[in-house]
Amino acid sequence: MDDAMGRFARKAGIQGGMCGKVLVTDGWGRVGLCILRSMAKRNIETTIITPNPAPLSSFSRYSSEEILCPSPALDSKAFLAAVIRLLKKRKYDLMFPILDTSLILLSDHRDELSPLVKMLLPSRESVREVYDKSLTIRVANEEGVPTPKTFFIHDMVALKDVASKVTYPMVIKPKWSWIWNQNRAFHRRPGYANSASELVSSYEVIHRDFPFPMVQEYVPGPNISVAAIVNNGEPKAVCCIKVHRTLPVTGGNSVLRETVPPEPRIVKYASKLLRRLGWHGVAEVEFKVDERDSVPKLMEINGRFWGSLQLAVDSGIDFPYLLYRLAIDGRIQPTFNYNIGVKERWVNGDISHLLAVLRGEPKTGVPRPSRLRTVLQFLKFYEQNIHYDNFSFGDSAPFFTSLYRDISTRLFESLSRGSGFEPLDQAM
Protein backbone atom coordinates (compact mmCIF):
# COMPACT_ATOMS: atom_id res chain seq x y z
CA MET A 1 0.00 0.00 0.00
CA ASP A 2 1.04 3.61 -0.47
CA ASP A 3 1.44 6.32 2.16
CA ALA A 4 -2.26 7.18 2.22
CA MET A 5 -3.25 3.75 3.41
CA GLY A 6 -1.23 1.62 5.78
CA ARG A 7 -1.95 -2.07 6.23
CA PHE A 8 -1.86 -4.45 9.15
CA ALA A 9 -3.42 -7.87 9.58
CA ARG A 10 -4.30 -10.45 12.21
CA LYS A 11 -4.87 -14.01 11.13
CA ALA A 12 -7.53 -16.08 12.84
CA GLY A 13 -6.82 -19.47 11.37
CA ILE A 14 -10.22 -19.55 9.65
CA GLN A 15 -9.30 -18.31 6.21
CA GLY A 16 -8.92 -21.59 4.41
CA GLY A 17 -11.87 -22.22 2.15
CA MET A 18 -13.30 -18.72 2.37
CA CYS A 19 -16.32 -18.47 0.09
CA GLY A 20 -16.69 -14.71 -0.18
CA LYS A 21 -15.09 -11.40 0.67
CA VAL A 22 -16.54 -8.14 1.95
CA LEU A 23 -15.10 -4.70 2.69
CA VAL A 24 -16.37 -2.77 5.73
CA THR A 25 -15.73 0.94 6.08
CA ASP A 26 -15.57 2.64 9.50
CA GLY A 27 -15.42 -0.81 11.03
CA TRP A 28 -13.58 0.14 14.20
CA GLY A 29 -16.54 -0.11 16.62
CA ARG A 30 -19.43 -2.27 17.69
CA VAL A 31 -21.20 -2.46 14.35
CA GLY A 32 -18.06 -3.47 12.49
CA LEU A 33 -17.43 -6.22 15.04
CA CYS A 34 -20.99 -7.50 14.63
CA ILE A 35 -20.60 -7.66 10.85
CA LEU A 36 -17.23 -9.41 11.18
CA ARG A 37 -18.70 -12.16 13.39
CA SER A 38 -21.72 -12.58 11.13
CA MET A 39 -19.55 -13.03 8.04
CA ALA A 40 -17.08 -15.36 9.80
CA LYS A 41 -19.90 -17.76 10.68
CA ARG A 42 -20.50 -18.20 6.93
CA ASN A 43 -16.81 -18.39 6.05
CA ILE A 44 -16.91 -14.97 4.39
CA GLU A 45 -13.66 -13.06 4.75
CA THR A 46 -13.94 -9.51 6.05
CA THR A 47 -11.54 -6.64 5.48
CA ILE A 48 -12.11 -3.66 7.74
CA ILE A 49 -10.81 -0.23 6.84
CA THR A 50 -10.49 2.15 9.74
CA PRO A 51 -8.71 5.33 10.86
CA ASN A 52 -8.26 3.70 14.27
CA PRO A 53 -5.03 1.67 14.59
CA ALA A 54 -6.62 -0.58 17.24
CA PRO A 55 -10.22 -1.30 16.19
CA LEU A 56 -12.32 -3.69 18.27
CA SER A 57 -12.32 -6.16 15.39
CA SER A 58 -8.55 -6.56 15.66
CA PHE A 59 -9.02 -8.17 19.10
CA SER A 60 -11.52 -10.70 17.81
CA ARG A 61 -10.52 -14.29 17.11
CA TYR A 62 -12.30 -13.89 13.77
CA SER A 63 -10.14 -10.97 12.67
CA SER A 64 -8.49 -11.50 9.29
CA GLU A 65 -7.40 -8.06 8.10
CA GLU A 66 -7.64 -4.42 9.12
CA ILE A 67 -6.39 -1.61 6.89
CA LEU A 68 -5.58 1.86 8.14
CA CYS A 69 -7.39 4.49 6.10
CA PRO A 70 -8.05 8.23 6.42
CA SER A 71 -11.23 9.16 8.27
CA PRO A 72 -14.18 10.14 6.03
CA ALA A 73 -15.05 12.78 8.62
CA LEU A 74 -11.58 14.31 8.91
CA ASP A 75 -10.45 14.12 5.28
CA SER A 76 -13.16 13.03 2.86
CA LYS A 77 -10.98 13.49 -0.22
CA ALA A 78 -8.19 11.28 1.13
CA PHE A 79 -10.73 8.69 2.30
CA LEU A 80 -12.33 8.40 -1.14
CA ALA A 81 -8.99 8.23 -2.89
CA ALA A 82 -7.77 5.48 -0.56
CA VAL A 83 -10.95 3.41 -0.98
CA ILE A 84 -10.80 3.67 -4.78
CA ARG A 85 -7.13 2.63 -4.82
CA LEU A 86 -7.90 -0.39 -2.66
CA LEU A 87 -10.84 -1.44 -4.82
CA LYS A 88 -8.72 -1.22 -7.95
CA LYS A 89 -6.18 -3.58 -6.42
CA ARG A 90 -8.53 -6.11 -4.80
CA LYS A 91 -11.79 -7.84 -5.59
CA TYR A 92 -14.64 -7.72 -3.05
CA ASP A 93 -18.16 -9.09 -3.34
CA LEU A 94 -19.69 -6.21 -1.42
CA MET A 95 -18.82 -3.03 0.47
CA PHE A 96 -20.63 -2.14 3.71
CA PRO A 97 -20.49 1.57 4.60
CA ILE A 98 -21.31 1.90 8.31
CA LEU A 99 -21.30 5.55 9.31
CA ASP A 100 -23.34 8.37 7.82
CA THR A 101 -20.21 10.18 6.69
CA SER A 102 -18.95 7.33 4.54
CA LEU A 103 -22.41 6.39 3.24
CA ILE A 104 -23.12 9.92 2.04
CA LEU A 105 -19.69 10.23 0.42
CA LEU A 106 -19.85 6.83 -1.25
CA SER A 107 -23.37 7.53 -2.46
CA ASP A 108 -22.26 10.81 -4.01
CA HIS A 109 -19.40 9.00 -5.82
CA ARG A 110 -21.25 5.82 -6.78
CA ASP A 111 -20.51 6.31 -10.47
CA GLU A 112 -16.79 5.89 -9.78
CA LEU A 113 -17.30 3.02 -7.35
CA SER A 114 -20.00 0.90 -8.96
CA PRO A 115 -17.65 -0.65 -11.59
CA LEU A 116 -15.35 -1.71 -8.75
CA VAL A 117 -17.66 -3.17 -6.06
CA LYS A 118 -21.29 -3.81 -5.22
CA MET A 119 -23.04 -1.48 -2.79
CA LEU A 120 -26.71 -1.70 -1.90
CA LEU A 121 -27.79 1.92 -2.12
CA PRO A 122 -31.03 3.70 -2.97
CA SER A 123 -31.09 6.62 -5.39
CA ARG A 124 -29.17 9.81 -4.65
CA GLU A 125 -32.49 11.60 -4.22
CA SER A 126 -33.63 9.08 -1.59
CA VAL A 127 -30.36 9.42 0.31
CA ARG A 128 -30.82 13.19 0.35
CA GLU A 129 -34.45 12.88 1.52
CA VAL A 130 -33.31 10.75 4.45
CA TYR A 131 -30.31 12.80 5.52
CA ASP A 132 -31.95 16.19 5.05
CA LYS A 133 -34.38 16.03 7.97
CA SER A 134 -36.53 18.84 6.61
CA LEU A 135 -37.18 16.74 3.50
CA THR A 136 -37.85 13.67 5.66
CA ILE A 137 -40.54 15.59 7.55
CA ARG A 138 -42.13 16.76 4.31
CA VAL A 139 -42.16 13.23 2.87
CA ALA A 140 -43.75 11.92 6.08
CA ASN A 141 -46.44 14.62 6.00
CA GLU A 142 -47.26 13.79 2.39
CA GLU A 143 -47.60 10.09 3.30
CA GLY A 144 -49.79 10.76 6.35
CA VAL A 145 -47.13 9.65 8.83
CA PRO A 146 -47.44 11.60 12.11
CA THR A 147 -44.53 13.89 12.99
CA PRO A 148 -43.80 16.33 15.81
CA LYS A 149 -45.08 19.83 15.20
CA THR A 150 -42.25 21.40 13.21
CA PHE A 151 -41.43 24.99 12.27
CA PHE A 152 -39.20 25.73 9.28
CA ILE A 153 -37.42 28.98 9.99
CA HIS A 154 -36.27 31.21 7.13
CA ASP A 155 -35.33 34.40 8.99
CA MET A 156 -34.87 35.67 12.52
CA VAL A 157 -38.17 37.58 12.47
CA ALA A 158 -40.01 34.30 11.95
CA LEU A 159 -37.94 32.71 14.73
CA LYS A 160 -38.97 35.35 17.27
CA ASP A 161 -42.59 34.97 16.22
CA VAL A 162 -42.44 31.21 16.73
CA ALA A 163 -40.60 31.62 20.04
CA SER A 164 -43.43 33.75 21.40
CA LYS A 165 -46.17 31.23 20.56
CA VAL A 166 -44.89 27.72 21.27
CA THR A 167 -45.02 25.63 24.45
CA TYR A 168 -41.70 24.62 25.97
CA PRO A 169 -39.43 22.68 25.96
CA MET A 170 -38.65 22.88 22.25
CA VAL A 171 -36.03 21.08 20.19
CA ILE A 172 -33.66 22.82 17.77
CA LYS A 173 -32.79 20.20 15.18
CA PRO A 174 -30.24 20.76 12.40
CA LYS A 175 -31.56 19.76 8.99
CA TRP A 176 -28.32 17.87 8.38
CA SER A 177 -26.58 16.15 11.31
CA TRP A 178 -23.36 16.27 9.30
CA ILE A 179 -22.04 19.06 7.10
CA TRP A 180 -18.76 19.29 5.17
CA ASN A 181 -16.35 22.18 5.05
CA GLN A 182 -13.06 21.80 3.17
CA ASN A 183 -13.20 17.98 3.15
CA ARG A 184 -13.98 17.80 6.88
CA ALA A 185 -17.33 16.76 8.35
CA PHE A 186 -18.84 18.45 11.38
CA HIS A 187 -21.57 16.91 13.52
CA ARG A 188 -24.23 18.51 15.66
CA ARG A 189 -26.85 16.97 17.92
CA PRO A 190 -30.18 18.72 18.55
CA GLY A 191 -30.36 21.49 21.12
CA TYR A 192 -33.12 22.16 23.66
CA ALA A 193 -34.75 25.38 24.81
CA ASN A 194 -36.95 26.08 27.84
CA SER A 195 -37.98 29.66 27.07
CA ALA A 196 -38.36 32.13 24.23
CA SER A 197 -35.07 33.86 25.01
CA GLU A 198 -33.24 30.55 25.24
CA LEU A 199 -34.76 29.38 21.96
CA VAL A 200 -33.54 32.49 20.14
CA SER A 201 -30.04 32.44 21.66
CA SER A 202 -29.56 28.67 21.19
CA TYR A 203 -30.92 28.82 17.65
CA GLU A 204 -28.47 31.54 16.70
CA VAL A 205 -25.55 29.46 18.00
CA ILE A 206 -26.56 26.38 15.98
CA HIS A 207 -27.49 28.48 12.94
CA ARG A 208 -23.93 29.80 12.61
CA ASP A 209 -22.59 26.39 11.56
CA PHE A 210 -25.79 24.51 10.60
CA PRO A 211 -27.90 27.08 8.74
CA PHE A 212 -31.60 27.41 9.53
CA PRO A 213 -32.23 24.39 11.74
CA MET A 214 -35.81 23.29 12.37
CA VAL A 215 -37.70 24.09 15.55
CA GLN A 216 -39.69 21.11 16.74
CA GLU A 217 -41.93 20.29 19.68
CA TYR A 218 -40.46 17.95 22.27
CA VAL A 219 -42.27 14.60 22.24
CA PRO A 220 -42.29 12.79 25.59
CA GLY A 221 -42.49 9.01 25.45
CA PRO A 222 -40.58 5.84 24.58
CA ASN A 223 -38.48 5.46 21.44
CA ILE A 224 -39.36 2.52 19.19
CA SER A 225 -37.52 1.89 15.95
CA VAL A 226 -38.13 -0.37 12.98
CA ALA A 227 -34.90 -1.95 11.74
CA ALA A 228 -35.28 -3.25 8.22
CA ILE A 229 -33.73 -4.62 5.07
CA VAL A 230 -35.51 -3.24 2.04
CA ASN A 231 -35.45 -4.47 -1.55
CA ASN A 232 -36.39 -1.62 -3.89
CA GLY A 233 -38.93 -0.20 -1.45
CA GLU A 234 -40.28 -3.48 -0.08
CA PRO A 235 -39.27 -4.45 3.49
CA LYS A 236 -37.94 -8.01 3.50
CA ALA A 237 -36.77 -8.24 7.12
CA VAL A 238 -38.05 -6.27 10.09
CA CYS A 239 -37.20 -6.11 13.79
CA CYS A 240 -38.83 -3.66 16.24
CA ILE A 241 -36.66 -2.30 19.04
CA LYS A 242 -37.65 -0.30 22.13
CA VAL A 243 -35.03 1.95 23.72
CA HIS A 244 -34.87 2.06 27.53
CA ARG A 245 -31.81 4.27 28.06
CA THR A 246 -29.78 6.53 25.78
CA LEU A 247 -26.61 8.57 25.57
CA PRO A 248 -27.01 11.55 25.75
CA VAL A 249 -29.79 11.22 28.30
CA THR A 250 -32.12 13.36 26.16
CA GLY A 251 -31.85 10.88 23.29
CA GLY A 252 -29.23 9.48 20.95
CA ASN A 253 -27.30 6.21 21.02
CA SER A 254 -29.23 3.52 22.85
CA VAL A 255 -27.40 1.92 25.77
CA LEU A 256 -30.19 -0.48 26.81
CA ARG A 257 -32.77 -1.70 24.33
CA GLU A 258 -35.18 -4.59 23.86
CA THR A 259 -36.97 -6.33 21.02
CA VAL A 260 -40.73 -5.80 21.12
CA PRO A 261 -43.63 -7.19 19.09
CA PRO A 262 -44.26 -5.37 15.82
CA GLU A 263 -46.70 -2.52 16.58
CA PRO A 264 -48.98 -2.43 13.53
CA ARG A 265 -49.14 1.36 13.19
CA ILE A 266 -45.40 1.81 13.53
CA VAL A 267 -44.57 -0.93 11.01
CA LYS A 268 -47.21 0.47 8.65
CA TYR A 269 -45.78 3.99 8.85
CA ALA A 270 -42.20 2.76 8.41
CA SER A 271 -43.19 0.65 5.40
CA LYS A 272 -45.01 3.57 3.78
CA LEU A 273 -41.94 5.77 4.12
CA LEU A 274 -39.52 3.16 2.80
CA ARG A 275 -41.78 2.43 -0.19
CA ARG A 276 -42.16 6.12 -0.96
CA LEU A 277 -38.38 6.54 -0.85
CA GLY A 278 -37.81 3.44 -2.97
CA TRP A 279 -35.23 2.50 -0.36
CA HIS A 280 -32.73 -0.24 -1.11
CA GLY A 281 -30.53 -1.76 1.58
CA VAL A 282 -30.71 -1.35 5.35
CA ALA A 283 -32.54 1.36 7.28
CA GLU A 284 -33.75 2.21 10.75
CA VAL A 285 -36.95 4.25 11.09
CA GLU A 286 -37.22 5.85 14.54
CA PHE A 287 -40.45 6.87 16.26
CA LYS A 288 -41.45 8.22 19.64
CA VAL A 289 -44.80 7.09 21.00
CA ASP A 290 -46.20 10.35 22.34
CA GLU A 291 -47.34 9.73 25.91
CA ARG A 292 -49.84 12.57 25.56
CA ASP A 293 -51.94 10.92 22.84
CA SER A 294 -50.29 7.48 22.26
CA VAL A 295 -49.54 8.40 18.63
CA PRO A 296 -46.17 7.22 17.21
CA LYS A 297 -44.39 10.22 15.70
CA LEU A 298 -41.48 10.01 13.32
CA MET A 299 -38.12 11.17 14.68
CA GLU A 300 -35.76 10.31 11.83
CA ILE A 301 -34.62 7.69 9.36
CA ASN A 302 -31.10 6.26 9.48
CA GLY A 303 -30.02 4.94 6.12
CA ARG A 304 -27.31 2.60 7.40
CA PHE A 305 -26.71 -0.09 10.01
CA TRP A 306 -27.93 1.08 13.41
CA GLY A 307 -26.01 1.05 16.69
CA SER A 308 -28.18 -1.72 18.16
CA LEU A 309 -27.46 -4.08 15.25
CA GLN A 310 -26.19 -6.80 17.58
CA LEU A 311 -29.60 -6.93 19.34
CA ALA A 312 -31.35 -7.72 16.07
CA VAL A 313 -28.82 -10.48 15.35
CA ASP A 314 -29.17 -11.94 18.86
CA SER A 315 -32.95 -11.94 18.50
CA GLY A 316 -32.74 -14.15 15.43
CA ILE A 317 -32.40 -11.91 12.35
CA ASP A 318 -28.87 -11.80 10.97
CA PHE A 319 -29.11 -8.51 9.10
CA PRO A 320 -25.49 -8.38 7.87
CA TYR A 321 -25.72 -11.81 6.25
CA LEU A 322 -29.17 -11.10 4.80
CA LEU A 323 -27.81 -7.92 3.25
CA TYR A 324 -24.91 -9.91 1.80
CA ARG A 325 -27.32 -12.44 0.29
CA LEU A 326 -29.51 -9.67 -1.12
CA ALA A 327 -26.46 -8.17 -2.83
CA ILE A 328 -25.27 -11.50 -4.23
CA ASP A 329 -28.60 -13.13 -5.13
CA GLY A 330 -30.75 -10.07 -5.82
CA ARG A 331 -33.45 -11.26 -3.41
CA ILE A 332 -33.98 -12.84 0.01
CA GLN A 333 -36.80 -14.71 1.67
CA PRO A 334 -38.97 -12.45 3.87
CA THR A 335 -37.85 -12.65 7.50
CA PHE A 336 -40.24 -11.14 10.02
CA ASN A 337 -40.03 -13.58 12.93
CA TYR A 338 -37.67 -12.83 15.80
CA ASN A 339 -37.50 -13.46 19.54
CA ILE A 340 -39.40 -10.92 21.65
CA GLY A 341 -38.08 -9.61 24.97
CA VAL A 342 -34.38 -9.96 24.11
CA LYS A 343 -32.35 -7.16 25.73
CA GLU A 344 -28.98 -5.79 24.74
CA ARG A 345 -26.83 -3.55 26.91
CA TRP A 346 -23.90 -1.40 25.86
CA VAL A 347 -22.02 -1.23 29.14
CA ASN A 348 -19.60 1.52 28.10
CA GLY A 349 -22.46 3.79 27.10
CA ASP A 350 -24.48 2.83 30.15
CA ILE A 351 -21.62 3.96 32.41
CA SER A 352 -21.67 7.31 30.62
CA HIS A 353 -25.46 7.48 31.01
CA LEU A 354 -25.14 6.81 34.74
CA LEU A 355 -22.48 9.49 35.25
CA ALA A 356 -24.49 12.00 33.23
CA VAL A 357 -27.58 11.46 35.40
CA LEU A 358 -25.48 11.73 38.58
CA ARG A 359 -24.18 15.07 37.27
CA GLY A 360 -27.77 16.27 37.01
CA GLU A 361 -28.31 15.93 33.28
CA PRO A 362 -30.24 16.78 31.29
CA LYS A 363 -30.13 20.43 32.32
CA THR A 364 -33.11 21.33 30.14
CA GLY A 365 -36.86 21.28 30.55
CA VAL A 366 -36.81 17.62 29.48
CA PRO A 367 -37.78 15.30 32.36
CA ARG A 368 -34.74 14.32 34.42
CA PRO A 369 -34.31 10.65 35.46
CA SER A 370 -34.19 9.83 39.15
CA ARG A 371 -30.61 9.37 40.34
CA LEU A 372 -31.56 6.55 42.72
CA ARG A 373 -33.63 4.71 40.13
CA THR A 374 -30.85 5.09 37.57
CA VAL A 375 -28.26 3.63 39.96
CA LEU A 376 -30.53 0.68 40.83
CA GLN A 377 -31.26 0.00 37.16
CA PHE A 378 -27.57 0.20 36.29
CA LEU A 379 -26.75 -2.43 38.91
CA LYS A 380 -29.07 -4.99 37.31
CA PHE A 381 -26.35 -6.89 35.49
CA TYR A 382 -28.35 -10.08 35.17
CA GLU A 383 -31.79 -10.28 33.62
CA GLN A 384 -33.55 -12.92 31.63
CA ASN A 385 -32.59 -12.80 27.94
CA ILE A 386 -29.93 -10.14 28.50
CA HIS A 387 -27.01 -9.80 26.10
CA TYR A 388 -24.05 -7.43 26.05
CA ASP A 389 -22.67 -5.49 23.10
CA ASN A 390 -19.23 -6.69 21.99
CA PHE A 391 -19.43 -9.82 24.15
CA SER A 392 -19.53 -13.31 22.72
CA PHE A 393 -18.63 -16.58 24.42
CA GLY A 394 -15.39 -17.77 22.87
CA ASP A 395 -14.67 -14.26 21.59
CA SER A 396 -14.72 -12.05 24.68
CA ALA A 397 -11.50 -10.08 24.15
CA PRO A 398 -13.22 -7.19 22.27
CA PHE A 399 -15.68 -6.68 25.14
CA PHE A 400 -13.04 -6.46 27.88
CA THR A 401 -10.69 -4.43 25.69
CA SER A 402 -13.39 -1.89 24.92
CA LEU A 403 -14.43 -1.64 28.56
CA TYR A 404 -10.86 -1.18 29.74
CA ARG A 405 -10.07 1.45 27.12
CA ASP A 406 -13.14 3.53 27.82
CA ILE A 407 -12.89 3.44 31.59
CA SER A 408 -9.15 4.04 31.81
CA THR A 409 -8.94 6.72 29.11
CA ARG A 410 -12.19 8.64 29.33
CA LEU A 411 -12.61 8.50 33.09
CA PHE A 412 -9.06 9.82 33.50
CA GLU A 413 -9.82 12.68 31.10
CA SER A 414 -13.08 13.43 32.88
CA LEU A 415 -11.43 13.62 36.30
CA SER A 416 -8.35 15.51 35.18
CA ARG A 417 -9.98 18.04 32.85
CA GLY A 418 -13.62 18.06 33.94
CA SER A 419 -14.77 16.99 30.50
CA GLY A 420 -17.76 14.76 29.84
CA PHE A 421 -17.32 11.00 29.94
CA GLU A 422 -18.02 9.86 26.40
CA PRO A 423 -17.12 6.35 25.22
CA LEU A 424 -14.44 5.89 22.61
CA ASP A 425 -16.66 3.33 20.92
CA GLN A 426 -19.18 5.85 19.56
CA ALA A 427 -19.90 3.91 16.40
CA MET A 428 -23.28 5.60 15.96
Same domain, 104 and 184: no
Same domain, 224 and 296: yes
Q: Is residue 286 part of a domain?
A: yes
Same domain, 171 and 79: no
Domain edge (last residue) among 127, 157, 183: 127
Same domain, 255 and 284: yes
Same domain, 213 and 227: no
Same domain, 72 and 209: no
Dist. CA 49–CA 186, nearest whole Å: 21
CA-based torsion, 393, 242, 119, 71: positive or negative:
negative
Same domain, 231 and 88: no
Query: In 3D, which of 243, 87, 135 has the Cα closest to residue 97?
Result: 87
CA-based torsion, 37, 228, 244, 262: positive or negative:
negative
Query: How many domains, the chain?
Result: 3
Burial 17-38 (b: 16+ CB within 10 A, else e): eeeebbbbbbbbbbbbbbbbbb
Q: Is residue 288 part of a domain?
A: yes
Q: Is residue 396 part of a domain?
A: no
Query: In 3D, which of 409, 228, 242 has the Cα closest to residue 304?
Result: 228
Q: Is residue 282 part of a domain?
A: yes
Q: Is residue 42 part of a domain?
A: yes
CATH number for the domain harbouring residue 81: 3.40.50.20
Peptide bond before 53: cis, by omega within 30 degrees of 0?
Answer: no
**pLDDT reported for residue 420:** 45
- Positions of the chain with pLDDT lower than 70, given as ranges: 1-18, 410-428
Q: Is residue 416 part of a domain?
A: no
**pLDDT reported for residue 405:** 87
Q: Is residue 240 part of a domain?
A: yes
Same domain, 255 and 305: yes
Dist. CA 297–CA 422, nearest whole Å: 28
Dist. CA 202–CA 423, nearest whole Å: 26
Q: Is residue 409 part of a domain?
A: no
Beta bridge partners of 288: 223, 297
CATH number for the domain harbouring residue 368: 3.30.470.20
Backbone angles phi, psi at 255, to 5 degrees: -110, -20
Domain edge (last residue) among 127, 159, 174: 127
Domain edge (last residue) among 188, 217, 246: 217
Same domain, 206 and 90: no
Same domain, 188 and 223: no
Q: How many residues comprise the chain?
A: 428
Average pLDDT score over the chain = 91
Angle between helices 124-131 and 264-277 (to 10 degrees): 130
Dist. CA 189–CA 67, nearest whole Å: 30
Torsion, CA 383, CA 386, CA 391, CA 396, rounded to 10: 40
Same domain, 67 and 52: yes
Burial 171-187 (b: 16+ CB within 10 A, else e): bbbbbbbbeeeeeebee
Same domain, 186 and 232: no
327-337 tens-digit pLDDT: 999 999 999 99
**pLDDT reported for residue 127:** 97
Residue 302: how many CB atoms within 10 A of its CB? 21
Note down the domain range covering 301: 219-389
**pLDDT reported for residue 154:** 92
